[in-house]
Structure 1
Amino acid sequence: RKRVFRDSAYYEIITTRKGYQVLRYFMVGATYKVGQKAEYSIREVVQWWIAPNGKTEVIARLRAMHTMYYDLWTEWSDMDLRSNKMLKAYNIDAYKTYPAMRIIPELRRNGFKGAFHELTPYEFFTAILTDSKKETLLKAGQTEMFRYAVISNVNLHEYWNSIKICIRNGYHIADASMWCDLVRLLRHFGKDTHCPKYVCPTDLKKVHDRLVRKREEQIERERAEQRREQLVKDEKNYLKSKGKFFGLVFTDNLILVKVIESVAEMQLEGKLMHHCVGSYHKRTDSLILSATIDGKRIETVEVSLTTFKVVQ
């Protein structure tokens, strides 16, 4: 039911100029009004100039940097040199790319064959011109690992020896994130990450998930041991600070009120009575008692050791 509708999209031209790779981005706008012919506009907004060594400069119009809208360009501003620090503002993922591309020979030498593997041309070109390891991944056909290395900034040096084992054995890394996690787990468990048996699994997910479960079980055991050690420490501290009250009991032959004499007993009290008294053993000014009738808990009582009054 809208009477006025506006839309816009980017397209790019990939070309060369005097030995530089140039990426030119244009914004195309369309305005549709009921009963009128559509109006179209087009203007160039960004140019990336990429040298054969991977260094870049950006020429662009001014735009609003602190906004959720990435297409708010200042139309009257000049195409001028801008700061590379605002990369996200100029690294545009165009809707369409002009099919006839002109490419500098250095890019073809470093492995570009026409596909960008779900990366922007800027990300792709700068990656293979500035990083020999990424260039090697592309040429070796490890495109998933190549893409992951570009978008995640993973430290390839950390995995490079294992990657070379995969390349040497013709193993294609289909899920780079999972594979890197696998290598980290293998290292943790002391396995040889130079061995094809470990770094080239037939079923990556199955092996990865098994090691993840093993690590989770290990972490849980470590936490249980830490909890046990802390409990022993807490019991000693509790005995030292409240031990002189142990054995203290009040009763009217119906209700029996006794001092809680251990941290474990206090945690059980909190669990069964559904409140937070389980951590009160750390309170220096409090004495915690449990009230029961015929052995059944009915209330937990906190008494101040300063005023000797019931706090709660």
Structure 2
Amino acid sequence: YKAGQAAEYSIFEVVQRWIAPNGKTTTIARLRGMSIMYYDLWNECSDMEVRKYQEYRAYDITPICTYPRQRFIPELKRNGFKGECCGILPYDLFKAILSDSRVETLMKAGQYPMLRYYLNRSFDMERYWASVKICIRNGYTISDGSMWRDTIDLLRHFGKDTNSPKYVCPSDLKAEHDKLVQKRNRQREREQLKERRQEAKKHEKEYRKLKGRFFGIVFTDGTLNIRVLESVAEFAEEGTAMHHCVWSNSYYLKKNSLILSATIDGVRIETVEVSLKTFRVVQSRGVCNSNTEYHDRIISLVDSNMSLIRKRMGKAA
């Protein structure tokens, strides 16, 4: 294009993707530059020759999006293609429905979200295929392939029948998925706590030697109850329940730290660290290191009872 002149357009071919009716493919293209960051670095002086497929997908083209005239071989129509690529690259879709009977089945059954997920992720579909067929037979559309697959894995983990429509065709997939995830998390926490208790046994004697003088310290304001953790096993329980580092960072071995637990009606609220050098609250953390609505009140209550800790420290001296 130049000022005062009409624009001129030209086309320079760089790629051809060939797909046989059996799904086998060949790419014919010109040479490319070395960079994998740009898709348009073509060597225009090179010949159109058979090229090895590039993992960075430089050869991917979407003719259905750009070219108005379309003609499809009968094999594609036979295998369920009706002109819509369902958000999948045409090359990937055509190759798959010509070579994989499961893709053909998903296409014909209208299971497009599961089809997209299957072609975009690398996983063993055979492990889930029986459950997929249960969904198809019961007219159930899998709305989210990733979430449904996770749900099947969780059902299998808990020994549920993954050939039963009751389990594999949930009316609310997200709710069922979240319920199973929570159940699995609780199971993992129990397993983790069991392992931590076993580990705790190795350090109980040392912890009692370091902090035994403070055992029995308890104070309350009528609602909040705050007490010193009296065993390493309690550190394991506290860390597991509160999802913070009081266990993983081995606070039970820190000579100048005293750890207390603040509860209301037996429910843990925050974990408190007191410095045995300065006799001040170093930190007070709720679940996942958050501050609760009782945070300031907890610190104030500990500060007002710091004399109990000083007294025990003085006796030991």
Match in the other structure for 1:54: 23
Tell me the SS of whatever aligns to 1:84: coil
1:115 aligns with 2:84: yes
2:274 paired residue number: 272
Structure 2 residues not aligned, in runs of 5+ = 213-229, 236-251, 260-272, 276-281, 284-308
Within 5 Å, which residues of 2 pair with 1:160-179?
Answer: 160-179=129-148
Q: Secondary structure at the match of 2:26?
A: strand
TM-superposed deviation, 1:35: 7.0
Partner SS state of residue 58, structure 1: strand
**1:96 aligned to 2:83?**
no
1:43 alignment partner, SS class: coil
* Cα distance per residue 1:13-59 (max 9 Å; x no partner): xxxxxxxxxxxxxxxxxxx6777654544211110111111111100
Give how far 1:72 is off: 1.5
Match of 2:185 among 216, 220, 224: 216
Tell me which residue corresponds to 1:80: 49
TM-score computed with the length of structure 1 as normaliser: 0.66
1:196 aligned residue: 165
Number of the residue aligned with 2:115: 146
Letter in 2 for 1:217: R
Q: Secondary structure at the match of 1:218?
A: helix
SS of 1:48's partner is: strand
Amino acid in the other structure paired with 2:88: L
The structure with the larger Rg is: 1
8 Å contact 2:113–2:143 — kept in the other structure? yes
**1:221-261 residue CA offsets vs partner (Å, 9 max, x unmatched):** 2212211111113436x59xx98x999xxxxxxxxxxxxx9
CA RMSD of superposed structures (Å):
3.1
C-alpha contact (below 8 Å) 1:165/1:195 kept by paired residues: yes
Q: 2-side partners of 1:159 and 1:119: how far apart?
A: 21
Distance 1:95 1:107, change over 3 A: closer
Which residue identity is paired with 2:111?
A: Q
Distance in 1 separating the partners of 2:17 and 2:189: 51
The amino acid across from 1:150 in the alignment is L
**CA contact under 8 A between 1:65 and 1:89: conserved in structure 2?**
no
Q: Which runs of 5+ in 1 are unaligned?
A: 1-31, 248-260, 276-291, 298-312
Q: Is the 8 A contact 2:36 2:56 kept in 1?
A: no
1:151 CA displacement: 0.8
Percent of aligned pairs with the same residue? Answer: 55
User: What TM-score, normalized by structure 2, do the two folds share?
Assistant: 0.65
